Amino acid sequence: MQQYKQAYIRGKWRDVEPVSGISLLDSYSGEPLAEVALAGTKEACDAVLAARQAFLAWSSMPVAVRAQLIRKVGDALANDIDGLAEAITHEVGMPLKLSKRIQVQAPVAAWSAYADMAEKFAFEKRIRNSIVTQESVGVVACITPWNYPLHQITAKVAPALAAGCTVVLKPSELAPAAAYAVARAIEKAGIPPGVFNFVMGEGRITGEMVVNHPEVDMVSFTGSTAAGQRVARLAGNGIKRLALELGGKSASIVLADADLKLAMRHALGACFLNSGQTCTAISRLLVPAALYTECIALLKQGVGAFAMGDPADPATRIGPLVSMEQRERVKAHIAAAVEEGAEIIAGTEAVPPLGWFVAPTILGKVAPDSQIAQEEVFGPVLCVIAYETEEDAVRIANGTRYGLAAAVWSADQNHALAVARRLRAGQIDVNGAPFNPDAPFGGFGMSGIGRENGIFGFEEFLEPRAIQLPA
């Protein structure tokens, strides 16, 4: 059983003085997986002060030297892709074949990408009689969730370090393996002491301490909208730079001329990835009322391909949820939806005897303003909503407090693009277009503030400064 009972501060591992601890269970077998010690404010404060003390030297370091050190972090992580994928699968439940590619390989590659970006970036330019420089924000508190642990850590820490910031990471205690792996990789890469620090602890204690600390200049948070609201209020007290990546209730609009078979197949995959434990999950499927029956038939046919089972089995497409508590929350959402009038199209079949499973669920006859259509479930639950006109579809898609992701399907790409331009969402896929790691990632409305990924995520950690010269 793994023991996660240390913090990494000033380039050294140290045992924490825990205020509490948790025992993690394997998401599939239910067997003991790890013991996690949760630190209090003492370690969090030390981590912030270490980051402050290291900031001047790190931000002043030549960009090429900084970039080379960051590349070495990715190289160190690449040495154990299989082991890290297995650890995340045990914690989160994503099938191993997907964990290796999505949870590990993609973020490992991002470290080199951000190093390259920093070397090519114009940190200084002339605008008339002004020299405009891009300055490192300062000390950044990075608070990350459990569902894509290495990805979320990398999306914050790698660009922050590349931009010349120093970091205090407060990762989720429910998926600690990735944070420990990153800290070990940073140690191996030779990044100077204090540049990166991490402390495992509860959000309401350790997280709030780093958000409130006067030596923290920026907070980058990914998590629930409710938690993000709390972070925003606390950060506002210090007028701190803020980046929030929060919840979603993303919609896919299937237009009347779309390839229905392809659109329905994509809808299932986009909703059920990581058992629905994905902020961008396409959890609302909007179909023309005249084609509703045909779409339901295709969905019922396609859902059978999403086999539940042992995440280590290559045949498994749906793994367990992260915990028993998460499973019960999802089941409660489904029960409430049925009470409101939704119809269960799929999801009543037996689940495996091991693991916190919820069967991939399709709900039909969902009202656009119902609770299930408005609230993030974070489980494998697809809501099918019928619409009469294209105007209806756009109104329904935009009719939640969220605006993280969306999709549009049509045989006419220009038509699909015209509809996509009317959607208030940060990332919109047309006809199943693939994910682009260089494109901005983030949301409108209650889905957050700021953007991650690519140059957009890099620039989040920079502040422009103008120096005026005599004309």
Return the CATH number at 188.
3.40.605.10
**298 & 226 share domain:** no
Statement: residue 1 has pLDDT above 90: no
* pLDDT score at 126: 96
The verdict on residue 39 lying in a domain is: yes
pLDDT digits (tens, 9 = 90+) for 75-114: 999 999 999 999 999 999 999 999 999 999 999 999 999 9
Which parts of 20-108 are beta strand (E)?
Answer: 20-25, 32-38
| Per-residue pLDDT tens digits for 112-131 | 999 999 999 999 999 999 99
Helix (H, G, I), strand (E, B) or coil at 365: coil
Q: Which helix (H) or strand (E) holds 254?
A: strand 250-254
Q: Is residue 216 located within the same domain as residue 122?
A: yes
Judgement on whether residues 421 and 276 belong to the same structural domain of the protein: yes
**Catalytic-labelled residue, pool 142, 165, 271, 279:** 279
Q: What is the pLDDT of residues 14-45, one digit of tens each?
A: 999 889 999 999 999 999 999 999 999 999 99
Residue 160: which H helix or E strand, with range? Answer: helix 149-162
For residues 170 and 221, the answer to whether their CB atoms sit within 8 Å is no
Domain encompassing residue 395: 250-435
Examine residue 89 and state whether it is found in any structural domain, yes or no. Answer: yes
Mean pLDDT of the chain: 97
Claim to verify: residue 236 and residue 260 sit in the same structural domain: no
pLDDT at position 448 is 96
Residue 31, SS3 per DSSP: coil
Domain total in the chain: 2
Span 44-57, average pLDDT: 98
The pLDDT of residue 22 is: 95
pLDDT for 93: 96
Largest Cα–Cα separation, the chain: 76
203 to each of 156, 219, 227, how far by Cα in Å?
17, 13, 9
**pLDDT at residue 471 is higher than 90:** no
Same domain, 189 and 338: no
Total residues found in the chain within this entry: 471
Q: Same domain, yes or no, for 321 and 224?
A: no
Structure confidence at residue 349 (pLDDT):
87
Tell me whether residue 325 is one of the annotated catalytic residues: no
Q: Inter-axis angle of helices 81-92 and 63-78, to 10 degrees?
A: 70
- The reply to whether 378 falls in a domain is yes
Residue 442 in any domain: the answer is: no
Distance CA 363, CA 296 (A): 10
The pLDDT of 288-294, averaged and rounded, is 98
Could you tell me if 420 and 322 are in contact, meaning their C-beta atoms sit under 8 angstroms apart?
Answer: no
Residue 441 lies in a domain: no
The whole-number pLDDT of residue 378 equals: 96
Q: Which two tokens stand for residue 64?
A: 């090429």
303 domain residue, yes or no: yes
In the numeric block, which tokens belong to residue 162?
């590349």
Q: Are residues 333 and 218 in the same domain?
A: no
CATH number at residue 303: 3.40.309.10
pLDDT of 217 above 90: yes
Q: Tell me: do 322 and 360 sit in the same domain.
A: yes
* The pLDDT of residue 194 is above 90: yes
Domain match, 193 and 327 both: no
Do 459 and 415 fall into the same domain?
A: no
Cα–Cα distance for residue pair 59/196, rounded to 1 Å: 13
The pLDDT value given to residue 70: 98
Q: Please say if the pLDDT value at position 322 is more than 90.
A: yes
Query: What DSSP line would sit under 321-388, residue for residue?
Result: -S-HHHHHHHHHHHHHHHHTT-EEEE--SPPPSSS-----EEEES--TTSHHHHS---SSEEEEEEES
3-state secondary structure of 21: strand
**CA 406 – CA 270 distance, rounded (Å):** 10
User: Does 279 participate in catalysis according to the annotation?
Assistant: yes
* Residue 10 DSSP SS3: coil
Average of pLDDT values for 269-291? 97
Q: For 346-385, what is each residue's pLDDT tens digit?
A: 999 899 999 999 999 999 999 999 999 999 999 999 999 9
Reported as a single tens digit per residue, the pLDDT across 389-436 is: 999 999 999 999 999 999 999 999 999 999 999 999 999 999 999 999
Q: Which of 86, 208, 245, 459 is catalytic?
A: 245
Q: Is residue 440 part of a domain?
A: no
pLDDT reported for residue 172:
97
Cα angle 109, 110, 111; round to 5: 95
